[in-house]
Chain A
Amino acid sequence: MSNVVFLFENFNPNIRTTFFRHKSYTNYLGYSEFAIKNTNTEHGLFGIIDKFPDIENMKDIEPINQHIIKLANNKIPIFRCTISLSEYDAIRLGYDSKEKWKELFKLKLSSFADKLNVKYHDLQYCRSSSFRKWTSPFASYDLEQTKI
């Protein structure tokens, strides 16, 4: 049994560079070549944002990008989290599909809110799941895409 790679990043909103970090990250999440794309659209984004109730079926994610740029400009703290498994474990335990990750994240969302000291109904997130090949056990990725 190998461990889960869990990276949690905090960004200081008062530093100028954090704005540029968030600026293009939504596009990266949605259109990354490793992201598992939605069935109807070209991007792989999904999540809960009050302004955009149906993200999965949105054809263009530019408004979401603009929304996040506005948040970054207003110095609202944004956290990033990456959770990944080794290829062997992902296939063995069924975490090679998007829906399984969705279930897992929904289960743990309340504890996330608790640890971030945020009310559960205030929490907003957008995410994508991707599939890549391991090279080493220390969280470095190979850029080759593997077929599912």
Chain B
Amino acid sequence: MQVMIWSKQKYKMNYFVDYKEVNKMREEFTNEIFKEDLLELYKEKDITRKGIITDNKFLQEIKNVSSNKKFIKDILQYEKDFNDKKILKHNISNKKIKLVVDDLIKIKSLLKQTSGSIKYQYLKKYPNIINEVDNLSKKIIELSLECQEQVEKYIQIKQDIVSYKYQNEEKIKQAQTIEKEKAEQEILKLIGNQILNFERILLNQKLEYNQIQYINNGRQLVWNIFNTLYFTTRQEEKYLRRFELIYKKQLSKQAKKELALKKRNESSLNWEK
């Protein structure tokens, strides 16, 4: 079949059609012409696919994974290990969380008297509220030992980073004390902002929470704070490692490997002497 095609429209049109479009047209025509042949092929394909699934033992086993108790046990064990190693433990009793919730309600009543946005930096106009928030964040840190460890590690890393800046020991000590105060304030700000975010949600809500809802949401807040502390310390650790590489001029892992490979065939004699 041979065709001549044009358009009766009056505005100018492009005379070139892209190869991709032409290929699409070709595909459409072939699919339409060989429709009957393709239908038979699809049927054959379906039958063979069904055969593959029913005959293959491995696929059948994968299908029955949800009923296999041993497999589920292994996966759960793996998940447990992952939780134990990587993220802080969240085993906190309801009594301790109740104390946190009481403070949250107290801050909520104080925040109703303020105006403006509810953020840590802006609320420094009201030292009364900031003191309350800081006390609460200190309480949350004291809830778990691991959390305290992470905070100490964070401060230590900050101090280590500063120590690369000076060579005189007195100056290093002075800088470290300043850095410790700064790091503590940073952590208080980090936790305080999370608490205030939670408070903002409480203030915007029309219905008041039950005690159970308060406890559940309070628990979630504490978990969130723990996780953020964990991840911020990990990030600082990475930052420290980079500092060490730059200032101590240590070689990276890959560079060490390459150096070892180079020196592999060197003789023990130094010929230059």
Residues of chain A having any CB pair with chain B under 8 Å: 1, 3-4, 6, 8, 10-13, 22, 25-26, 29, 47, 50, 68, 71, 76-85, 89, 93, 95, 101, 104-105, 107-108, 111-112, 115-119, 122-130
- At the interface, yes or no: B26 with Cβ under 8 Å from chain A? yes
Interface-centre pick from B5, B26, B29 (highest chain A CB count, 10 A): B5
Q: CA separation between A81 and B21, bound complex, in Å?
A: 13
In the bound complex, residues from chain A placing their C-beta under 8 Å from that of B21 are 115
In the complex formed, the residue of A with least CB distance to B38 is: A1
CB distance from A15 to the nearest CB of B (A): 10
Q: How far is the CA of A107 from the CA of B4 in the complex (A)?
A: 17
Main secondary structure of the interface of A (DSSP, over half): mixed
A-B pair number, CB within 8 angstroms: 122
A13-B15, A93-B33, A129-B1 known; A115+B6 contact, CB < 8 A:
no
Are A125 and B4 neighbours in the complex by a CB distance under 8 Å?
yes
B34→A124 contact, CB < 8 A: no
B6, B9, B16 pick with most chain A CB within 10 angstroms: B6
Interface residues on B, range: 20 to 34
Partner of A78, one of B4, B14, B30, B37: B4
List CB contacts (< 8 Å) of B97-140 with chain A: none
Q: What are the 9 tightest A-B residue pairs by CB atom distance, in nearest-first order? A: A77-B15, A127-B3, A6-B26, A115-B21, A118-B7, A129-B1, A122-B9, A79-B5, A125-B5
Assess whether A77 is in contact with B29, with CB atoms less than 8 Å apart.
no
Q: Are B7 and A124 in contact (CB under 8 A)?
A: yes
**Given A4-B33, A10-B16, A82-B1, A115-B25 contact (CB < 8 Å):** yes
Q: How many angstroms from the CA of A96 to the CA of B21 in the assembled complex?
A: 27
CA distance A85 to B28 in the complex (A): 14
Q: B29 to chain A: which residues have CB within 8 Å?
A: 4, 6, 83, 104, 108
- Do A4 and B30 touch across chains, with their CB atoms under 8 A apart? yes
Determine the chain A residues whose CB is within 8 A of the CB of B30 once the complex forms.
Answer: 3-4, 6
Set of chain B residues within 8 Å of A119, measured between Cβ atoms:
7, 9
Could you tell me if B17 and A8 are in contact, using CB atoms closer than 8 angstroms?
yes
Whose C-beta in chain B lies nearest to the C-beta of A12?
A: B15
**B269 contacts the other chain (Cβ, under 8 Å)?**
no
B32 within 8 A of A: yes
- Contact yes or no, B5 A81, CB < 8 A: yes
Q: Closest CB of chain B to A55's CB: distance in Å?
A: 12
State whether A125 and B3 are in contact (beta carbons under 8 Å apart), knowing that A13-B15, A77-B15, A115-B21 are contacts in the complex.
yes
Q: Are B1 and A117 in contact (CB under 8 A)?
A: no
Task: State the CA gap A85–B33 with chains docked (Å).
Answer: 9
Q: State the Cβ distance, A148 to closest chain B Cβ, in Å.
A: 15
Give every chain A residue within 8 A of B9 (Cβ-Cβ): 118-119, 122
Q: Is A101 in contact with B1, judged by CB distance below 8 angstroms?
A: yes
Complex Cα gap A125–B3 (Å)? 7
Q: Which of the residues B4, B16, B22 comes within 8 Å of A126, measured between beta carbons?
A: B4
Q: Are A79 and B32 in contact (CB under 8 A)?
A: no
Are B33 and A6 in contact (CB-based, < 8 A)? no
CA distance A76 to B30 in the complex (A): 29
Distance between Cα atoms of A95 and B5 in the complex (Å): 21
Choice from B6, B13, B25, B32 contacting A104 with Cβ under 8 Å: B32
> Is B2 in contact with chain A by the CB < 8 A criterion?
yes
A85 to B36, CA, bound (A): 15
Q: Are A127 and B2 in contact (CB under 8 A)?
A: yes
